[in-house]
Structure 1
Amino acid sequence: MNQFKTLALLSVLSALLISISYYTIGGTGGVFFGILIAAMTNLGSWFYSDKIALAAHGAQPVSREAAPELHAMVEKLAEKADIPVPGVYLLPTQSANAFATGRDPEHAAVAVTQGIMQMLPADELEGVIAHELSHIMNRDTLTQAVAATIAGAIAFLAQILQYSMWFGGMGGSRDDNGPNPIALIATLFLAPMAATVIQLGISRTREFAADAGAAQLTGNPRALASALKRLEASARQMPMTGNPAYEPLMIMHAVPKQMFSGLFSTHPSTDQRVERLLELEKEPVGA
């Protein structure tokens, strides 16, 4: 069900991109331009999403000698998940967080902050690493990158459309083939908002799936539940700075927002996630 929901949301996101391209450029040419932009952003996400995400946070590869326990943990869980061992990276910040990136299990990386390494006990850190490996197994890292780039392209085209309206680029008389002014204005203001809502909806859906995958990998859903509570409390005291476009990749909100509407949240609430994890603890082994 989660996979179907994600596919449906990505389809709507792509349709939004093509629609706003139509209103920006007009006619069949606009539709083809939208399709071209969608293809280019998806291709860029495919090849460069891991490098961009790691560079955006200043992540550096960490050697086995520098972090033997972390490497051993990643290797053990990757073997359980039956995926290649991803690259291991460290983020030079005391904020406690982690993320995974890469287009597929063969080109993946897991990044953790110095803060999370120092804060979490071993069983809770294992739950966090298992959560990130679940994202890799499910190819959520690519899905999130594609969603982010399409949403960014929609925002960019909406900005072009806005400039065109300001400078009279679309102020001429409207013929039967021209864009409907009401539809044009609705597209201008609503498409970027809708794209953001859809992108974040995809993120929330994939977080629940990764939590469940982590519980299955470790056999200890309570450890991840405890880690999530610690991470949320830590984020309130020491929020993580960085490009907000990459917040959906993180295991926890960079800055928890108590007043945030669920529609505009990158993650489900921690209480919801903990509740689901503790429900999994009640299920029979192998269920």
Structure 2
Amino acid sequence: MGNQFKTAALLAGLSGLLIAISYWVIGGTTGLIVGIGLAAVTNLFSWYQSDKIALAAYRAQEVSEAQAPGLYRMVSKLSQRANLPMPRVYIVPDSGANAFATGRDPEHAAVAVTEGIMNILPEDELEAVIAHELTHIANRDTLTQAVAATIAGAISFLAQNLFWFGGGSRDDNNRGGNFVGLLLTMILAPISATVIQMAISRTREFSADAGAARITGNPRALARALQRLESTARQMPVESGNPAFESLLIINPFSGGSFANLFRTHPTTEKRIEALLNLEKELPIR
């Protein structure tokens, strides 16, 4: 319940930031109304279309059981074990190793894996990764993360194009932006949106890891997979996709030093592995 409250508060913060930018750009009551309208439309649009946007961003291609029998049967088996409807299965034509799930609810969900992850992970580790994604579906994290990504993308787009949107206009309250204010908004708004989006993602990853461990009964398999994926990401990051949707992936698709770690969309792999190994002591091995 604590995580759900925190996630709801962070989503509200993102929507509030979008409204605040609109208020600053347009000014007064008009800006406030436009901002509320933008937030409402963005949330509604992402509710129904976020899965299509994410899949298109990564050029994911849906596959049938005949086209990918091993992967399809693995997803089907784990879905039954997790008491979930069978999601649609997609393969991303990318040599980088990663995976994600999307969809507004378990009845409209999809699981996507890259060609790279299928090539480098042994069966038990790939099962653990898919179980992680199925847990996101069960917890409805897929909708939360997609909505956050869509709003964050809208904030970034709006902030980067403030001058084109007529920043500095004024209304009956004589409120509006000035050059310095607009410049600060252009710089700080996308950063703020990214920080909030990262907080949402980090809140959900530990829960998904734990859920995967319970579905497979093998926490160590996911720990090994995360270690392998972290190492591979440094050498061969995922090239397709949109940065706004990085939070959907099972692991950060890029590498970097300590500065880059400040903007990670996930908890550190070391902390995730530590949590999984602690959980291993509590769970019977399946």
Counterparts in 2 of 1:124-273, with a 5 A limit?
Answer: 124-163=125-164, 170=168, 177-179=174-176, 186-242=184-240, 243-273=242-272
Aligned partners of 2:61, 2:161: CA distance in 1, in Å? 36
Aligned partners of 1:261, 1:224: CA distance in 2, in Å? 24
Deviations 1:2-47 (A, max 9, x none): 2121111111111111111111111111111111111111111111
1:12 aligns to what?
13
Aligned partners of 2:68, 2:172: CA distance in 1, in Å? 66
Which piece of structure 1 moves more, 211-220 or 57-66? 57-66
Q: Is the 8 A contact 1:99 1:112 kept in 2?
A: yes
1:103 aligns to what?
104
**Deviation at 1:179?**
4.3
Aligned partners of 2:147, 2:199: CA distance in 1, in Å? 14
Identity of aligned residues (%): 63
Look up the equivalent residue of 1:256 and give its one-letter code: S
**Deviation at 1:106?**
0.7
**Judging changes above 3 Å, is the alpha-carbon distance between structure 1 residues 221 and 16 closer, same or farther for their aligned structure 2 residues?**
same
Look up the equivalent residue of 1:193 and give its one-letter code: I
Q: Is the 8 A contact 1:262 1:268 kept in 2?
A: no
Aligned to 2:80, the other structure's residue is in SS state helix
Aligned partners of 1:52, 1:91: CA distance in 2, in Å? 14
Deviations 1:150-190 (A, max 9, x none): 1122223323434568xxx6288x99642476766654432
**Judging changes above 3 Å, is the alpha-carbon distance between structure 1 residues 262 and 171 closer, same or farther for their aligned structure 2 residues?**
same
Aligned partners of 2:204, 2:49: CA distance in 1, in Å? 21
> Cα RMSD over matched residues?
2.3
Q: Is the 8 A contact 1:154 1:191 kept in 2?
A: yes
**Judging changes above 3 Å, is the alpha-carbon distance between structure 1 residues 115 and 170 closer, same or farther for their aligned structure 2 residues?**
closer
Q: Is the 8 A contact 1:96 1:114 kept in 2?
A: yes
Q: Is the 8 A contact 1:2 1:209 kept in 2?
A: no
**Judging changes above 3 Å, is the alpha-carbon distance between structure 1 residues 175 and 35 closer, same or farther for their aligned structure 2 residues?**
closer
1:38 aligns with 2:39: yes
**Judging changes above 3 Å, is the alpha-carbon distance between structure 1 residues 189 and 236 closer, same or farther for their aligned structure 2 residues?**
closer
Deviations 1:27-84 (A, max 9, x none): 1111111111111111111111111211222211222123222122111211122111
**Deviation at 1:214?**
0.6
Aligned length: 282
Q: Is the 8 A contact 2:214 2:283 kept in 1?
A: no
1:78 aligns with 2:79: yes
**Deviation at 1:94?**
2.1
Aligned to 1:199, the other structure's residue is in SS state helix
Aligned to 1:95, the other structure's residue is in SS state coil
1:276 aligns to what?
275
Aligned to 1:161, the other structure's residue is in SS state coil
**Judging changes above 3 Å, is the alpha-carbon distance between structure 1 residues 30 and 175 closer, same or farther for their aligned structure 2 residues?**
closer
Look up the equivalent residue of 1:161 and give its one-letter code: L
**Judging changes above 3 Å, is the alpha-carbon distance between structure 1 residues 79 and 154 closer, same or farther for their aligned structure 2 residues?**
same
**Deviation at 1:240?**
1.0
Aligned partners of 1:35, 1:175: CA distance in 2, in Å? 19
Aligned partners of 2:65, 2:257: CA distance in 1, in Å? 39
Aligned partners of 1:272, 1:120: CA distance in 2, in Å? 21
Aligned partners of 1:61, 1:180: CA distance in 2, in Å? 46
Q: Is the 8 A contact 1:200 1:263 kept in 2?
A: no
Q: Structure 1, unaligned stretches of length 5 or more?
A: none
**Deviation at 1:245?**
2.0
**Judging changes above 3 Å, is the alpha-carbon distance between structure 1 residues 180 and 222 closer, same or farther for their aligned structure 2 residues?**
same
**Deviation at 1:220?**
0.8
